[in-house]
Amino acid sequence: MATSEELNEWDRHYLWHAFTQMAEHEPLIVERGEGCFLWDTDGKRYLDGVSSLWCNLHGHNHPQLNAAISGQLAKLAHATTLGMSNPPAIELARRLAQITPGDLEHVFYSCDGSSAVEVALKVCFQYWQQCDAPKPKKKKYLAFGNAYHGDTLGSTAVGGIQHFHEIFGPLLCEVVRVPSPDRRFGTTEEHLGKLGAVLAEQHETIAALVIEPLVQGAAGLLMQGEGYLRGVRELCTRYEVLMIADEIVTGFGRTGKLFACEHENVVPDLMCLGKSLTAGYLPMAATMVTSKVYEAFLGEYHEQRTFYHGHTFGGNPLAAAVALASIDLVEASKMLSEVLPPRIEQFCLRLQRLEQHPEIGRHLGDVRQLGLMAGVDLVADRENNIPYEAHQRVGYQVCKATTEAGVWLRPLGDVVVLIPPPVISEEELDLLFDALTQSLLKICVEIAVQPQA
């Protein structure tokens, strides 16, 4: 059995980590989990403060989820959904149709969120080529500044974070871009006015609009104003543009409702699900479509209406089984009605205490929160809105100090992201904020990082 030292060495040499500068990589190798905690190969315990990249719902090593996988493993580990099916995939498709808003009744499986968005983009393009009233000029997509929808080429194209995607520009399809609907920089009416003007001018060539409902996740949890999502739905309907809701981050309760679209009673034409679909257990994603969209792909073989797209592991029975068990747990635990409300209240109170802290508060810019999700901006000087210099990597330093204190966090630049599992206890949430408070004091206050000139 490999030692910790050997694993560290092999990790640095052989394993190329996502979104990681490997020349500076410092391994953190976890080997087991229980509840909201992870343990590394040296036996040190860490509170999982970001739900293992925003996907863990019920904690690690949950007996009911483990049993679902074990039970299915004894029957069938994998079978393709190209030309055949399996009971868990069928049952999950029906269940998703029952719990998602409106008439999103048809499910196309893939393996990750990026692929779910890729499916949605291709579906929308093909839809306008072959629907009952074809509009073949509709070949573009409308997306937002600061958006993030994944890293395949299609999902990269509709992403709007320059730092991530600029280098791949020559490979990408044409996208119509409107400014981020960040509520800090304009009212709902102003943002909808900008969007409406673009749609009025270009709707004849736009196949679909893709949006992260209510909150732009990878941009640093940027929040939209009340009524914006509902206004987007109305504009898409008016201008005959399909609406894709990317609920990969926001789905399954993280915002306080099962799906973010439910906050404004919005039914998109397509909805992308991933991450928490399997409670963070196995790779699986789904693209939900309405009957109107689905029926455009039905016809005789010679009509070539088929959606020629697929994934080897789409609809994998192990993943589908654990997804079904997770949905059962959400409902049986009354997560939305009883578990989350007191934790969200505590979450908000602890965020307020950070903002009001006499020493820490002056180093916090905007603090954004929705449900059990928050983005905390770190600044050199809040009063004068002076940011830290990028090379100081203050967000990284704060999260490194927090991890050393036993709470694992991962920043987005100088934004500290807090997305703990919904099952986190009162004591565990206090542990998270206590560690973060001490780390902010250590990094932002004690070492007195100098603001830029």
Question: The domain spanning residue 44 has which CATH number?
Answer: 3.90.1150.10
Which residues define the annotated binding site for pyridoxal 5'-phosphate? Answer: 113-114, 246, 311-312
Whether residues 92 and 222 share a domain: the answer is yes
Cβ-count burial 332-347 (b if 16+ within 10 Å, e if not): ebebbeebbeebbebb
Question: 453: pLDDT confidence band, cut at 50, 70 and 90?
Answer: very low
Task: Tell which of 298, 332, 366 closes a domain.
Answer: 332
Q: Please indicate, yes or no, if residue 392 is contained in any of the structural domains.
A: yes
Lowest mean pLDDT among 77-86, 213-222, 261-270, 377-386: 377-386
Q: 145-185: per-residue pLDDT in tens?
A: 999 999 999 999 999 998 888 899 999 998 999 999 999 99
Residues 351 and 317 in one domain: no
Mean pLDDT, residues 258-266 taken together: 98
End position of a domain, from candidates 306, 332, 358? 332
Average pLDDT over residues 230-250: 98
Q: Decide if 181 is inside a domain.
A: yes
Tell me, yes or no, whether 376 and 278 share the same domain: no
Lowest mean pLDDT among 158-172, 245-259, 263-277, 366-380: 158-172
Opening angle at CA 93, ends 92 and 94, nearest 5:
90
pLDDT digits (tens, 9 = 90+) for 9-55: 999 999 999 999 999 999 999 999 999 999 999 999 999 999 999 99
Model confidence pLDDT, tens digit, residues 290-313: 999 999 999 999 999 999 999 999
Query: For residue 28, how far is the Cα from the chain centroid?
Result: 23
If asked whether residues 248 and 181 sit together in one domain, one would say yes
Predicted confidence at residue 165, as pLDDT, reads 85
Structural domain includes residue 408: yes
Per-residue confidence (pLDDT) for residue 262, from 0 to 100: 98
Annotated binding site for substrate: 148, 275, 310, 410
Tally the domains of the chain. Answer: 2
Lowest mean pLDDT among 191-205, 340-354, 434-448: 434-448
pLDDT value, residue 164: 86
317 and 379 belong to one structural domain: no
- pLDDT at residue number 63: 98
451 domain residue, yes or no: no
Q: In angstroms, how far is CA 23 from the centroid of its own chain?
A: 27
Q: Is the pLDDT of residue 449 over 50?
A: no
Residues 434 and 350 in one domain: yes
- 328 and 285 in a common domain: yes
Question: Where is average pLDDT lowest: 98-107, 277-286, 296-305, 382-391?
Answer: 382-391
- 0.75 cut: is pTM over it? yes
Within-domain flag for 453: no
Among 127, 116, 147, which Cα is nearest to 271's?
Answer: 116
Mean pLDDT of the chain: 96
Residue that finishes a domain, picked among 315, 332, 349: 332
The binding site comprises 113-114, 148, 246, 275, 310-312, 410
Domain encompassing residue 299: 65-332
The CATH number assigned to the domain holding 145 equals 3.40.640.10
Same domain, 296 and 207: yes
How many Å apart are CA 425 and CA 447, to the nearest integer? 32
For 37-40, the CB contacts below 8 A with 24+ separation are 38/408, 40/4
Return the pLDDT at 447. 61
Strand partners, 35: 60
Summarised one tens digit per residue, pLDDT across range 80-119 is: 999 999 999 999 999 999 999 999 999 999 999 999 999 9
Same domain, 314 and 376: no
- Residue 149 sits in the same domain as residue 128: yes
Do 282 and 354 lie in one domain? The reply is no
Q: What value does the mean pLDDT take over residues 194-211?
A: 98
Angle at CA of residue 355, ends 55 and 181, nearest 5°: 55
* 79 shares a domain with 184: yes
Q: Rounded to an integer, what distance in angstroms lies between the CA atom of residue 213 and that of residue 198?
A: 19
Q: If residue 271 lies in a helix (H) or strand (E), which one and from where to where? A: strand 270-273
Domain-embedded: residue 452: no
